[in-house]
Amino acid sequence: MAHRAGRGMRRPARRSGGGEPAGCDGRGRGVAARGRPRARPIRPSGPTTIDRDRPYSDRRRPTAAGPGRPVRSTRPTEPRRRTVTIDPAMPDAPSTLDRDTALLERLLGSVLVEQEGRAFRERVFWLRDKAAQLRADPEGTDAEELVDAIRRLSSSQLGPIVRACSMSLQLSNIAEELERLRRRRAHDADDQGPQRESLAAAAATTAGLSRDERARALADLDVALVMTAHPTEATRRSIFDHQQRAWALMETLDDPRIGPTRRRTFEDELRETLTVWWQTDDVRARRPRPDDEVRRTLLHVEGVLYDAVPDLLLELSRTLGVAWPPADTAGGSGDAGSSAATATGSSSVTTGATAGGATAGGARAGGATSATGATSAAGTPGTASGARRTVPTAGTGAAAGRAPIRFGSWAGGDMDGNPNVGPDTIAASLQRHRRTALRLLGERVDRLAVHFSQADDRVFVTDDLKRSIERDERELPRVTFQGASANEPFRRKLTFIAARLERAAQRGEGGYERVEELIADLSLLRASCSSTLVAHGRIARLLAQARTFGFLVAALDVRQSAGPLQHATAALIDGYADEDEAGRQRLLVEALEGPPGFAREVDDEDAATTIAGIAAVGRAIADHGPHAIGRLIIAMARQPSDVLCTQFLLRHTAADLDGGALPHDTPAVPIVPLFETVDDLAAAEATMGDLYATAPYADHVERCGGAQEIMLGYSDSAKDGGFIASQWGLYGAQERLVAQADEQGIAVRFFHGRGGSTSRGGGPHHRAILSQPPGSVRGRIAITEQGETLSQRYPHPELAVRSLEQTVSAVVLATLTPPAEPAPAYRAALDELTTVSRETYRALVFDDERFPRLLHQAAPLAELSEMNIGSRPAKRGGTTGVDGLRAIPWVFAWMQNRILLPAWYGTGTALEQGDRELQREMVERWPFFRTILSMLEMSLFKSDLGVAERYLELVDPDARELWTPIREEHARVQRVVLEIRGTPKLLDATPALQRRLAHRNPWIDPLSHIQVALLRRSRDGDEDAHGPLLSTIGGIAAGMRNTG
């Protein structure tokens, strides 16, 4: 089949004044305009007047933000960290944020008038204004007036009001994200020094270290961000698309060069977008299928992250002064995170020398790198020389020739409690990953072909590149060249590259089999650029994308719970189910050391389903290479046999693959135990110690490069023991596991299963990483990105770069300048806090028989399952009550009724009994405790027991009695936090954040009151209340910026 050269070569140039607005790409998404003059804040002039027709945010008088504070100098207990002054977080400019919010509310108001009438608009804004008055003057405002007004409206009348309030909150989110982008650009334009939490700030802080020390840290840098399919994103895809369009138009309107005529045009287009958004259903008609979750996950990569990563790597190289990839390493990342054999160092670029003798195949000696970056075939573990370092490392970072940041996904592979996920979804997900990756690469190769018009007499074309083109001509004789002259070798080579990518997508002859082959070809071009600028320009970006995302975009993780894995093993090994733990380990070791495979049919349907899911892991490796599966995670891991039986099932199913596609022994897929409860975290050291002492598993660790990844569960540990017990349990488990691994010579990496909310480990990555125990990071970390956090952290390429560099810079700092060991007095204080807080928490949540009724009656818990926000059921099968409820709906419910109980209950009693001066000292000197208090303070500020008390109207009288200890504990913890902080109000130390969060309440409060009314009506049989009730759940989630 003939292939036409440069599929994108005939595309017309993007217009700046035609169908799409300036500053937007062809799909209406915002495009960063580098070098564009920064928009100056539009400050209001003249007196501020109150006008009922103007939105609430437009009536507010801008408030002056306090001066920023420089970062506190580092204490001597954190050695070798240079004391620098980093530019503080710039407070929000009230004029620009209020201006954007006012514009959006004005346009929304006009949409409401057109669609529903002026009286409807007045009713919506009256509810908002009344809620604002109640907040400002609770004593002088009649709260019942607001409640009575809602009660008088029918369910059908409340539905549109819910949508209007929800939409306003979502528009506020857009305004805040645009303000983040504006701050970032303003900081860059004003040259105010390193931005806080940036890579430049990390470089300044570590400037006292030698170049070699920094280079070693970068060489071991391996940051994995794993996108999960957790059901916490309540926004429909269609609504999300309208939000993105509104985002892009608002960014365009921020351009000061736009005159009145074009501004009116763009405002009309924005009003049109809001109108279509208003006319779109905000609740999904059906529950998403796993394939829907896969597509949505990949959209975040395709739309934002794919083009953000090269900018991150450029900034990493620029600020830390170490070229990436290092000149003496093989460049490449394989299929979403492997290594290749192509050297692309700067020396070859500037001289035009050959690309390190790279071959077209790009194959490297030795085994393939596993998804943790460790060597996955037999051979020398650890470093290339085989020598172990004092600080264990699996050689997983840039020095191993792969990108220091990579991505994974659970969508389509998370079988834990989800009967909709299995072998078919694993295979289909990887196929979609592959199609997406090859399409993205092909599009960018086409664009590069348009740009690379160099003539052969203007550049130094290496002999390797000439031979490569000659080989392409022999192997792909039907490829034709339209517009590429014979003296344009770069275009000719890129045409062949595009052809091979197209054939790879079709699994056809002549197509690339591995991404290393593509990297080798691109490196040949780069070596012939005859210009450092060109070599470090677009082709370097494409190489970075190929190394980072490979042919799969992201590796697929497979997760299954320990229970089904044990059940499947019992179906294969006689007498296994009757043995105790020691007996099970003995049988598993015998099976692992014996011949592989069993000629046995499994009659148990559940066991057969689990076995088929594990078999899909081996099949995926056979089809897509050793990096297709990032890791095999064992949920609710408690004992060594949970891990050994998983290893056994991998080995058993690999041996039974048709055609012997894999070696008969266990595939070197990282087996990752997930310790989730407080007790399991405490026992993790003993569990791993038994595993390391078991010969078959020790061999497996060696085959994974001497590396062991361990996942830490934040959600279930917090649900099990409360916030402080969870945090301290996670901290202590990491300390013990690091010490144990160091003694064994094993490189341990922690995979942090963080959610969006505080009680599920949510919060800024930078602060969380820097609060980890000393020695627990060492350049490598894995973190989940769940649900709504993807949309919040990565809404725009520039903001994505900012979020990514906050994460990476924290890893660099935690590696080069780890925190000091906590003082014995600090440990003793946390031990006591943990004991008291856990006892207080469990006495209410697990020991009081009235509590489950309080939970189910005072929150829309049953209704959450009808939101259709995820493919996984909300409850674990076979269990009831709090124990059977998954962590996400557990947190989601308390977020909806504004109590946020899991985030703070029990901490007040514990903190009150402690030494206040010692607690203040811990906040000052210990990053871990400082982070705990910050997360606690944020949760308290978001909670509102005044509004929450309305939900008690739905609760049985005896269960309602539990409100007294809840209210008392809330008052207690708030009082103690303020005493420790030394401030009169919560978040006084961060006024910009305080103001942003408070601004949302006048819109959230009516939604909460409406939700209470609709819950009552729905439970009384009013069918008209059901739809609006589900809409209140999404609206409150948007306002709180958290679901679960």
Query: Known catalytic residues?
Result: 230, 719
AA identity, residue 438: L
DSSP state, residue 3: B
C-alpha distances (whole Å) from 462 to each of 341, 344, 525, 679, 717 are: 18, 14, 9, 62, 58
In degrees and rounded to multiples of 5, residue 946 shows phi and psi of -65, -45
Residues linked to residue 672 through DSSP beta bridges, in sequence order:
633
Six-digit token string for 790: 């993807």
AA identity, residue 122: E
In degrees and rounded to multiples of 5, residue 625 shows phi and psi of 100, 170
Residues linked to residue 708 through DSSP beta bridges, in sequence order:
748
DSSP calls for 181-216: HHHHHHHHHHT-SSBTTSHHHHHHHTTTS-HHHHHH
Query: Is the distance from CB of 637 to CB of 680 less than 8 angstroms?
Result: yes
Distance (Å, rounded) from C-alpha 401 to C-alpha 344?
A: 10
Query: Is the distance from CB of 231 to CB of 872 less than 8 angstroms?
Result: yes
Residues linked to residue 674 through DSSP beta bridges, in sequence order:
711
AA identity, residue 835: T
Distance (Å, rounded) from C-alpha 250 to C-alpha 505?
A: 38
Query: Is the distance from CB of 445 to CB of 498 less than 8 angstroms?
Result: yes
Query: Is the distance from CB of 892 to CB of 255 less than 8 angstroms?
Result: no
Give the Cα-Cα-Cα angle 955, 959, 962 (nearest 5 degrees): 115
AA identity, residue 497: I
3-class DSSP assignment, residue 607: helix
Give the Cα-Cα-Cα angle 653, 657, 658 (nearest 5 degrees): 155
Residues linked to residue 1042 through DSSP beta bridges, in sequence order:
none
Give one word for 522, left, alpha or beta, with left for phi > 0 and alpha for psi -120 to 50: alpha
DSSP state, residue 511: S
Six-digit token string for 13: 């140039």
Provide the terminal-to-terminal Cα distance of the chain, rounded to the nearest Å.
Answer: 51
DSSP state, residue 577: G
AA identity, residue 716: D
Q: For the stretch 867-881, what's the b/e string if a residue is b when 16 or more beta carbons lie within 10 angstroms of its beta carbon?
A: bbbbbbbbebeeeee
Distance (Å, rounded) from C-alpha 332 to C-alpha 342?
A: 7
Query: Is the distance from CB of 790 to CB of 759 less than 8 angstroms?
Result: no
Query: Is the distance from CB of 490 to CB of 526 less than 8 angstroms?
Result: no
Q: For the stretch 129-144, what's the b/e string if a residue is b when 16 or more beta carbons lie within 10 angstroms of its beta carbon?
A: bbbbbbeeeeeebebe
Six-digit token string for 371: 């998804």
Distance (Å, rounded) from C-alpha 286 to C-alpha 292?
A: 11
Among residues 491, 316, 503, the alpha carbon closest in space to that of 404 is found at 316
